[in-house]
Structure 1
Amino acid sequence: MSLLDPAERTRRGVEQQAALTGAPAPEPKTLLGASWRDFIYAEVWTRPGLDLRSRFWIAMAAAACSPGPAEILDNYVRGALTTGEVTLSELREGALHLAVYAGWSRGGAWDQSITRVATSLDLAPAEFAPIRAEPWDPAVRHAEGSANFLAVMTIGGPPPVVAYFDSGILNFVFGEMWMRPGLDQRSRRWITMVGVSESSSDTPIRSHTYGAMASGNATMDEMHEFVLQYAIHGGWPKASVMQATVFEMGKRVAQGLPFEA
């Protein structure tokens, strides 16, 4: 067996950190700093099992949900923009999407980071379509939300018997936000997966993991990569819950079995 060279890992980490943050990689002053370079950038971000755009969405959403230094999220946002993997308008859509699944405060932290980075890069403000520009028929919006819930989740939506199900999930989340054209469904899926992972809530974790694979948005191998990318900010204990769920739901999807709450 050939041995792996730690100097080569460090070289790769410096190169990747600079490319992925859009700024020169600083020389680490602590053990934690060295682990960012030698493990996170050199080993996790370079894995071939998941495309770079997806890794950015997972990393940004997870960093926005974490109480770490603001510069960590800013670095990801800058890297997403300077690599061309994500546009400014897509980032704004991402912040709204995270707000639904992790709370408007965390979505706001991401939105503020986007503003800081866009200002530092002297970018023009991103145009965005309003939540809804024209008058609407409430019954039509409800019907659209129910149909879109089925398309995204691959299971039927909840009965509109309480405000949370009716006004929240069916009318806004699936009747408006998931239907917005400014961000593709696969990207929305990764942001969602971070939000439900952070929630530690069994039913959302299991149903969205099932929906991610049953809809074709992600393969089981990609979901395994998601777990590792998420673990960087969510931590290994929360990621272990996700890993078990990917195994469970992946097996059901592969066998053509329906979701069971």
Structure 2
Amino acid sequence: MDERRRKGLEKMNEVYGWEMPNIEGDPYFDLTVDHLFGDIWNRPSLSMREKRIMTLTAVTAVGRQDLAEIQVNAALLNGELDETELKDIAVFLTQYLGFPLGSGLNGTVDKVANKRRKAAERGEAEDKKANVNAAVKMSSGRTLDDK
């Protein structure tokens, strides 16, 4: 694995809060890991918190609740934003994006926070395979189980 790929995978793992496997031979995954996470997410001028807020705004604006769920979970996991801050982001974005999109993010925050609370009450860790599959699907359109 070259340095750019290693750096990209490390940042991708930090951004999502789980261990992403290296997938060889998928041009879209290569672009995502090497360029997006290896170069763009590693630029030092914006904090991880600022990048997270911008990403949440973008995925909310295009109505991608599935991607918002990944971002909300990672923001909570990494301690970049807490539940109150995430709910306030939803309220704020509602004013600019409209009620349907803002309320979608609000519902996603509730869903993720409740899921995390219930898992913590049971003393369970998160389903890492489900998290990795979600990220792989987001990056390449397939899951680890796809043949």
Task: Summarize the Cα distance change of 1:230–1:161 in structure 2 as closer, same or farther, 3 Å threshold.
Answer: farther
1:161 offset after TM fit, Å? 4.3
Q: Secondary structure at the match of 1:194?
A: helix
- The answer to whether residue 29 in structure 2 is matched with residue 165 in structure 1 is yes
Q: Secondary structure at the match of 1:253?
A: helix
Aligned mate of 1:174, from 21, 37, 58? 37
2:60 alignment partner AA: S
1:198 offset after TM fit, Å? 1.6
Higher relative contact order (CA 8 A, sep 6+): 2
Unaligned runs of at least 5 residues, structure 2:
135-147
Q: Which residue of 2 aligns with 1:258?
A: 126
- The answer to whether residue 61 in structure 2 is matched with residue 192 in structure 1 is no
Task: Name the CA distance, whole Å, in 2 between partners of 1:182 and 1:146.
Answer: 20
Task: Name the CA distance, whole Å, in 1 between partners of 2:65 and 2:26.
Answer: 20
Structure of greater Rg: 1
Unaligned runs of at least 5 residues, structure 1:
1-137
Q: Does the 8 Å contact 1:149/1:157 carry over to 2? A: yes
Q: Which residue of 2 aligns with 1:40?
A: none
1:202 offset after TM fit, Å? 3.8
Q: Does the 8 Å contact 2:65/2:105 carry over to 1? A: no
Task: Name the CA distance, whole Å, in 1 between partners of 2:36 and 2:99.
Answer: 29
Task: Summarize the Cα distance change of 1:234–1:213 in structure 2 as closer, same or farther, 3 Å threshold.
Answer: same
1:236-251 correspondence to structure 2 within 5 Å? 236-251=99-114
Q: How many equivalent pairs are there?
A: 123
1:82-93 correspondence to structure 2 within 5 Å? none
1:113-128 correspondence to structure 2 within 5 Å? none
Q: Does the 8 Å contact 1:252/1:258 carry over to 2? A: no
Q: Secondary structure at the match of 1:217?
A: coil
1:177 alignment partner AA: I
- Report the TM-score, using the length of structure 1 for normalisation: 0.44
2:27 alignment partner AA: A
Q: Secondary structure at the match of 2:43?
A: coil
2:26 alignment partner AA: V
- Report the TM-score, using the length of structure 2 for normalisation: 0.75
Q: Does the 8 Å contact 2:65/2:108 carry over to 1? A: no
1:160 offset after TM fit, Å? 4.4
Q: Which residue of 1 aligns with 2:138?
A: none
Instruction: Please list every run of at least 4 consecutive aligned residues from structure 1 whose deviation after the TM superposition is greater than 6 angstroms.
Output: none
Q: Which residue of 2 aligns with 1:77?
A: none
Q: Secondary structure at the match of 2:2?
A: helix
Task: Summarize the Cα distance change of 1:226–1:258 in structure 2 as closer, same or farther, 3 Å threshold.
Answer: same
- The answer to whether residue 89 in structure 2 is matched with residue 221 in structure 1 is no
Q: Which residue of 2 aligns with 1:62?
A: none
Task: Name the CA distance, whole Å, in 2 between partners of 1:183 and 1:219.
Answer: 19
